[in-house]
Structure 1
Amino acid sequence: MTHGRRQVSRRGVLAASAAIGGGALLPAGQAVAQPGDLVTVTPGDARYPDLVRGWNQRYVGRPDAVHVPRSTAQVAAAVRQAVRSGKRFTVRSGGHCWEDFVFSPDVRAVIDMSAMRDVDFDASMNAFMVQPGAQLLDVYERLYRTWGVTVPAGMCFQVGAGGHVSGGGWGLLCRRLGLVVDHLYAVEVVVVNADGTVRTVVATREDNDPNRDLWWAHTGGGGGNFGVVTRYWFRSPGASGTDPARLLPAPPPEVLVSAVSWKWSDLDERSFTRLVRNYADWHVRHAAPDDPATAVCSLLSLNHVSNGAVGLITHVDASVPGAARLHDEFLAAVGEGVTAAHGPVTTRMGELAAMPDLVVPRRLPWLQAARYLGTANPTTNDPTQKSDFKSAYMKAGFPQRQLAALYRHLTRTDIGNPTGSVMLSSFAGQVSAVAQDATASAHRDAAYKLAWMIWWDDPDDEKDCVRWLREFYADMYADTGGVPVPGAVTDGCYVNYPDADLGSAEFNRSGTPWHDLYYKGNYRRLQRIKQAYDPGNVFRHRQSVRLPGS
């Protein structure tokens, strides 16, 4: 094993650099990885500060070591070392976890999967293989440029496949193609037995696979719960033959994309309420899997009044008959009865940048649109941004009391942070064609979902930002104990938008535990799978699946 800090001479560094192709000299004291070595970075290594943080700069770890494996065997070696030492360890793929589940103070080792990022067709499995460190835009580029296919995964380009897929994976093609896990054929996972021995398991969705439950757990059971994912394989259910181009869906060759906004100065409470109600009710009306409007997917960013505007991004499969009409009808339905006129998006919307050029719908090749929307995120590359988030699924339109809460908190004057927002996004369609227990992703009846978000960089602002978010969320769901308890209107929370407050009696007074908000009736099965594949609870964090009885 190569560690990130050891004594080497300058001559040794020169020799090692020449041996690997004459690269630039490394700082004195930094290790040179040899072929076959498991790269391990420790606090004395210049790389360490970059490897102990993810996307949310609110959480920075202080582990003794960060392992960067490049193969399944190296992952197994890193897990084995951590288990033998008794050190608490966690796993990072893309680094986009919104909570401290990876970089918490008690973590002594991190397994960083970012070097395992291959995307290829695996003829032996007759499926597409994606490693967990692959970022989503790289997955789309490779699948589409080479084979003309895709998976309906997320929008942000830097998200790693590892955590995204295991949590269920929402994306802009979900209403047309379902969730990414609806196309998951198999998963390779490094697990730890009760006696501490480490093994690698391949689990498929085949009915006769003895490890099928482990596959099922990774169709929405969340990351960091059962083992370390080292490979995913994708092949759509019902796909036949060996031609790779026919084993996953093709994305639309072109899409219509638009972005419009309504100025807060033009929105009174009545118009704001009408706009939000229209958006929600449209999704409830068009939730069926066979509705022609499954071609439409959208994001409505309800920004704090200090932002200046409320924005709407619309994404339509341009290959369907009447695509332009579907777009215009959707925009008209959202704006019906709203006295304010819409114009270009000239302000940031949540995590997305301004998009004034999309005020008129543009017809773009699908991959170009995916790149445009996926990289239009100024927070992704900002090394100072700290943030907090919450989520909810909705089955029905907003009750009047919730609409009033949205307006009240978005127009509060005791906070002036223009990044504060609630993002409403499309759901249902083909997502609803799958039974709630067919995968671990249980929210199949939801029509749309919500994400609360706020950013800050000054540490002095954290208290006010977090307080605003908590008070907003508590007021929104005051009738159900401060959280969106599954029922006729609300349907719980999205595990890929984790919220540690859900596990606190101070903020969750509903009597419904956090795991039922994330997993609903699927949690008991996830616990049984946890017992079978992680009986020692080696893989854990604040909201990891618990062993039965705990």
Structure 2
Amino acid sequence: MLNRRNLLRVGGSAALAVVASGEGLLSPAFGADSDWTRLAGRLQGDLVLPGDANYPYAKQLQFAAFDSVNPQAIAYCETVADVQACVRVARRNGVGVRVRSGGHNFEGWSTGPGLVIDVSRLNHVSVGASTVHMGPGAASIDALAALAPHNKQIIAGTCPTVCPGGFISGGGIGNQTRMFGLGADRLVSAKVVLADGSVVHCSPTRESSLFWALRGSGGGTFGIVVDFEVKPIDAPNMVHFVTYWSWNDAQRMFPAWQEWMASAPRALGSTFVGYLFDAAPGNAPGIGITGGFHGPKSQLDAELARLSALSGAQPVNTTVRDLSYVDGMKAAYLCDTISTSQCHRVGQTPDAVLPRTGYQTNGFRLFNRSLDSSTNDAILTAFEADRHAGQGRFLQCIAMGGAASDINPRSTAFWNRDAQFLAGYVALGEKATPADEAAATAFIDKGSAVLDPASSGAYVNFPSSKLPNWREAYHGGNYPRLLRVKQAYDPGNFFSHPRSIGS
């Protein structure tokens, strides 16, 4: 592993002298060890190369399926200057880059064969008079814990180690969406490293077109955000609930959940999950409905009773706890019995216990209305069909609407403001054989074919494994404007991935 400190320690003064003389001395055929040594000498953080002992870990994303991707280098940036140096060197020498914060992208867009610019160490969280500043690598669980003593909080998603670099840039959906809007809706300003290595501040009054584009178009397109300034939320408590229902009631529960959320108070956020931990023939699926309520427990109790009345069914088990906002989020993350430090992916902290995901295939869509009975039945039937032993599968649906729908779709880059819920299929497992991969692909393809006709769009932060019309599905009528912003700030398409703007 190369960094400035160990270069000095081993007597790398000659290499540093070359670095000090400027980038122009880099070899035209960039990629030799000496080239990376020069870049490492400019970094406060670390540069990890394929021959380093920690390279196998450094190249990891959340999903082990992308371990086959071997970047030329991974740069752990600790300062804005580190990010600038990586961008300038990579651009000057024609090295492709991918930007990584939490490494949770379902399709692996935060890794590639060139230079991975990792911003996980830009993880600051600071509180101002009326706003909060967060680095792109501030994991949700850490930001929540840091803000708790200040009685301020933020919108966070459904996973504890997701970071603002991806979450806010793509919109940011979670159980708080209906009450407080999207994560991107709370953005006040951003500091961004552009494709030429310069830094700009954007806000509604400065670089306003860039600010508009950053609020919901997805990460890795316009630049590298190195600081997010957001408006905190007023959420002193969260009544967290988990209910389990029999799959025998699925045909009643799925439409009832949609009707329930369409008429629920905005303080209620909820997720419907159909689950099969092993899709072997004969195994019975289950239903979980979970979420958070920002109000008195008595009101949530009444809402849960209303769900039972709408469905004509009773839950198998119910747990309702009136918690602080932080403890409610820890419960949602299944981290309420472990420490904040433990609530990380193994390797991220010394005592982290959360596992990685093996392979995962996805098909998600957005819906701007409740579905008719034939569509509901088809969605449930597709979930149960074509069983494959060892495959975990989920039908995951997250309620939206509420405050997120108050904003005009052209006011930010997030187009699908009329969405009432996000729904999709997930197939996953520990390690995929060719047969496992084929079965997962077939399951998602057939499920997506059921979802498509009724859908109103798609969500860039939950990318589907296949989505032919992704420009329209993600960005709708905003795509032409996004292209203009892209051409203004990154005309050479330096920042790109398979579904970035202009790809």
TM band (smaller chain): 0.7 to 0.9
Q: Secondary structure at the match of 1:281?
A: helix
Match of 2:149 among 145, 167, 176: 145
Partner of 2:183: 180
Structure 2 SS opposite 1:149: coil
Structure 1's 132 and 10: CA in aligned 2 closer, same or farther, altered over 3 A?
A: closer
What secondary structure, in the 3-state scheme, does the structure 2 residue paired with 1:408 have? Answer: helix
Out of 360, 377, 391, the position equivalent to 1:387 is 360
Q: Counterpart of 1:117?
A: 123
Give structure 2 stretches of 5+ with no counterpart. Answer: 13-36, 337-342, 346-353
Q: Deviation of residue 367 (structure 1)?
A: 1.1
2:233 counterpart of 1:249: yes
Amino acid at match of 1:329: E
SS in 1 for 2:229: strand
Q: Does 1:277 align with 2:250?
A: no
Q: Is the 8 A contact 1:392 1:490 kept in 2?
A: yes
Q: Distance in 2 between matches of 1:451 and 1:152?
A: 22
| C-alpha distance after superposition, 1:234-257 (max 9, x if no partner) | 13xxxxxxxxxxxx3221x22222
Tell me, yes or no, if structure 1 residue 44 matches structure 2 residue 51. Answer: yes
Counterpart AA for 1:499: S
Which of the numbers 291, 295, 310 marks the counterpart of 1:336? 310
Q: Of 256, 273, 297, which residue of structure 1 is paired with 2:269?
A: 297
Displacement of 1:285 in angstroms is 3.2
Partner of 1:325: 299
Taking the TM superposition and a 5 Å limit, the aligned residue runs for 1:366-381 are 366-376=325-335, 381=354
Matches within 5 A, 1:125-164: 127-146=131-150, 148-164=151-167
CA distance in 1, matches of 2:198, 2:319: 55
Partners of 2:319 and 2:332 in 1: how far apart?
16
Which segments of 5 or more consecutive residues in structure 1 lack a partner in the other structure? 13-30, 236-247, 287-292, 345-358, 481-488, 504-512
Residue in structure 2 matched with residue 312 of structure 1 by the alignment: 289
- Look up the SS of the partner of 1:342 in the other structure: coil
The equivalent of 1:218 in structure 2 is: 214
Instruction: Kindly report which structure 2 residues correspond to 1:7-86, keeping only aligned pairs within 5 A, or say none.
Output: 37-60=44-67, 61-86=69-94
2:466 maps to a residue whose letter is D
1:279–1:333 Cα contact (<8 Å) kept: yes
Q: TM-score, normalised by structure 1?
A: 0.77
Could you give the per-residue CA deviations for residues 425-468 of structure 1, whole angstroms, max 9, x where no partner exists? Answer: 11111111111111111121111111321211232122212211
Equivalent pairs: percent with the same residue? 26
Q: Which residue of 1 aligns with 2:486?
A: 530
* Aligned partner letter, 1:406: I
CA contact (8 A) 2:160 2:344 kept: no
CA 36–49 in structure 1, closer or farther in 2 if over 3 Å, else same:
closer
- The CA RMSD measured in Å over matched residues stands at 2.7
Give 3-state SS (helix, strand or coil) of 1:432's partner.
Answer: helix
2:290 maps to amino acid: I
Within 5 Å, which residues of 2 pair with 1:427-446?
427-446=400-419
Instruction: Tell me the alpha carbon deviations over residues 335-373 of structure 1, each in whole angstroms, 9 at most, x when there is no partner.
Output: 53445x4223xxxxxxxxxxxxxx232211221111121
Q: 1:456 aligned to 2:429?
A: yes
* Aligned-partner Cα distance in 2 for 1:261–1:430: 28
2-structure distance, mates of 1:313, 1:46: 42
Deviation for aligned residue 1:298: 0.8
Query: Residue 274 of structure 1: CA displacement?
Result: 1.6
Which residue does the alignment assign to 1:27?
none
Alignment partner for residue 451 of structure 2, among 476, 492, 517? Answer: 476
Specify whether residues 109 and 535 from structure 1 end up closer, same or farther in structure 2 by C-alpha distance, changes over 3 A only: same
Query: Are the aligned partners of 2:260 and 2:310 in contact in 1 as well (CA < 8 Å)?
Result: no
What is the CA–CA distance in structure 2 between the aligned matches of 1:374 and 1:456, rounded to whole Å? Answer: 20
Matched position secondary structure for 1:336 = helix
Contact 2:47/2:75 (<8 A) preserved? yes
Match for residue 261 of structure 1?
244
- Paired position in structure 2 for 1:352: none
3-state DSSP class of the match of 1:294?
coil
The one-letter code matched in structure 2 to 1:225 is: T
Residues 475-532 of structure 1: CA distance to partner in whole angstroms, max 9, x if unpaired? 333xx3xxxxxxxx532011001124113xxxxxxxxx21110011111111110000
Q: CA deviation at 1:258?
A: 2.0
Distance 1:447-1:383 versus aligned 2 partners, 3 A rule = closer
**What CA distance in whole angstroms lies between the structure 2 residues aligned with 1:466 and 1:137?**
32
Contact 1:261 1:311 in 2 (8 A): yes
Q: Is the 8 A contact 1:261 1:309 kept in 2?
A: yes
- Distance, in Å, in 2 between the alignment partners of 1:62 and 1:411 is 36
1:202 counterpart SS class: strand
Match of residue 25 from structure 2: none
Q: 1:127 to 1:284 in 2, by over 3 A?
A: closer
Shift in Å at residue 199 of structure 1?
A: 1.0
Task: Classify 1:249/1:501 alpha carbon distance in 2 versus 1 (closer, same or farther; 3 Å).
Answer: same
Within 2, Cα distance between the matches of 1:379 and 1:140? Answer: 13
Aligned to 1:360, the other structure's residue is in SS state: strand
1:230 is matched with 226
Which residue of structure 2 aligns with residue 490 of structure 1? 455
Number of residue pairs the alignment of both structures matches: 455
Note if contact 2:212-2:413 (Cα within 8 Å) is conserved in structure 1: yes
Matched position secondary structure for 1:198: coil
SS in 1 for 2:255: helix
Deviations, residues 9-40 of structure 1 (Å, cap 9, x unaligned)? 9999xxxxxxxxxxxxxxxxxx9x99963421
**2:27 alignment partner in structure 1:** none
Letter in 1 for 2:445: R
Structure 2 SS opposite 1:166: coil
Q: 1: CA distance between counterparts of 2:334 and 2:163?
A: 14
